[in-house]
Amino acid sequence: MIAKNYNCCFLNCSFIDSSSPKLGVSSFNSFDCRLICSRGAARSGFLKPVKAMESSKTFHIEANKTHQDVSGGNLDKKFANGMAENVVWHKCSVQKIDRQELLQQKGCVIWITGLSGSGKSTLACALARGLHMRGKLTYILDGDNVRHGLNKDLTFKAEDRVENIRRIGEVAKLFADAGVISIASLISPYRKDRDACRALLQEGDFIEVFMDIPLQVCEARDPKGLYKLARAGKIKGFTGIDDPYEPPLKSEIVLQQMGEICPSPSDMADVVISYLERNGYLQA
Ligand SMILES: Nc1ncnc2c1ncn2[C@@H]1O[C@H](COP(=O)(O)OS(=O)(=O)O)[C@@H](OP(=O)(O)O)[C@H]1O
Ligand SMILES: Nc1ncnc2c1ncn2[C@@H]1O[C@H](COP(=O)(O)OP(=O)(O)O)[C@@H](O)[C@H]1O
């Protein structure tokens, strides 16, 4: 792994190159950039992440709880080790590699994390548009949107956020397996749960993008008026206000403001597209 810190006149971002032999790394010349040498070093003082809140000690579901199903049966018998019993994986001769060949791209997950208002959905759309224009197939899994359907049973309590992240991680993995460039944009405030989603994918195929935008900026934007409600105590457990956000420690891409100036969504999307290009994801 090589960490690169790209400082452009209008855009401050850093990212890690996956130098997996499978994908290879091509040379990079789209931006005037500065190379730095370690993954940890990708975060200079200037690049210091938002410390909205420190880690929560309460959000993970207790591992040893016995769960009851609606009929009163013990679900733990049916789901030993979190897996249904007596199920066997059914293989098919058409594999991910065949679908990738058809699509002329590599399936992967771009996981955009950050505070509410940091620009996750906007970046997701700009990225989808940019890739679509290059003839690449994408699909966006936006936290807000998925909560309208698949995840409409989930609240913002810690254990429901864990489940929200887990389900979106699993769906994103299926899209990647379909050969699609799957774009997940959700707050996903807990590091452990983002890392669990990363672990579902092959090395390199999970690309974490951290929207490292200060809380004050997100709060000033407040497009839905939710920060205002949270400050007034009308929404409890709002991320960054009275609920934790754990910034990534080693995301592949970090997007930040340059001083007071926020790069445009399409400039941010270009950084991600350039990463995909250099790491071989835009070809089969
Ligand atoms: N309590 C609380 N905390 C944070 N956000 C809240 C809350 N209640 C509602 N909302 C709105 O829900 C959007 C976040 O949903 P996510 O699925 O991305 O959240 S999470 O990953 O499960 O934490 C988030 O959307 P974005 O602004 O697009 O991030 C908010 O508009
Ligand atoms: N790069 C950007 N520069 C300036 N404003 C932005 C940028 N990206 C998003 N915004 C604005 O910030 C607000 C929040 O963006 P959004 O994408 O909805 O964030 P999130 O999905 O993280 O909540 C919106 O009003 C959007 O227009």
Q: How far is the CA of 119 from the centre of ligand 2 (A)?
A: 4
Q: CA angle, corner 197, sides to 38 and 243, nearest 5?
A: 90
What confidence score (pLDDT) does residue 77 get? Answer: 54
Counting ligands in written order, the one closest to the CA of 266 is: 2
Asked if residues 165 and 197 have their Cβ atoms less than 8 Å apart, the reply is yes
What confidence score (pLDDT) does residue 46 get? Answer: 32
Is 188 an annotated catalytic residue? yes
Asked if residues 181 and 138 have their Cβ atoms less than 8 Å apart, the reply is yes
Where are the chain's structural domains?
12-78, 96-278
Element (H, E) at 247: none
Report the C-alpha gap between 283 and 14 in whole angstroms.
23
Report the C-alpha gap between 1 and 38 in whole angstroms.
8
What confidence score (pLDDT) does residue 27 get? Answer: 30
Please state the ipTM of this predicted complex. Answer: 0.99
| Choices 3.50.50.60, 3.30.1520.10, 3.40.50.300, 3.90.1150.10: CATH for 96-278 | 3.40.50.300
- pTM for the whole thing? 0.82
Which of 50, 121, 144, 192 has most ligand 1 atoms within 8 Å of CB, for mutation? 144
Per-residue pLDDT tens listing for the chain (284 residues): 444 444 333 455 555 554 333 322 223 333 322 222 233 333 333 333 334 444 443 334 443 444 444 444 455 556 666 778 899 999 999 999 999 999 999 999 999 999 999 999 999 999 999 999 999 999 999 999 999 999 999 999 999 999 999 999 999 999 999 999 999 999 999 999 999 999 999 999 999 999 999 999 999 999 999 999 999 999 999 999 999 999 999 999 999 999 999 999 999 999 999 999 999 999 99
Which of 8, 122, 210, 226 has most ligand 2 atoms within 8 Å of CB, for mutation? 122
What confidence score (pLDDT) does residue 36 get? Answer: 25
Is the minimum distance from the CB of 280 to ligand 2 under 6 angstroms? no
Asked if residues 108 and 181 have their Cβ atoms less than 8 Å apart, the reply is yes
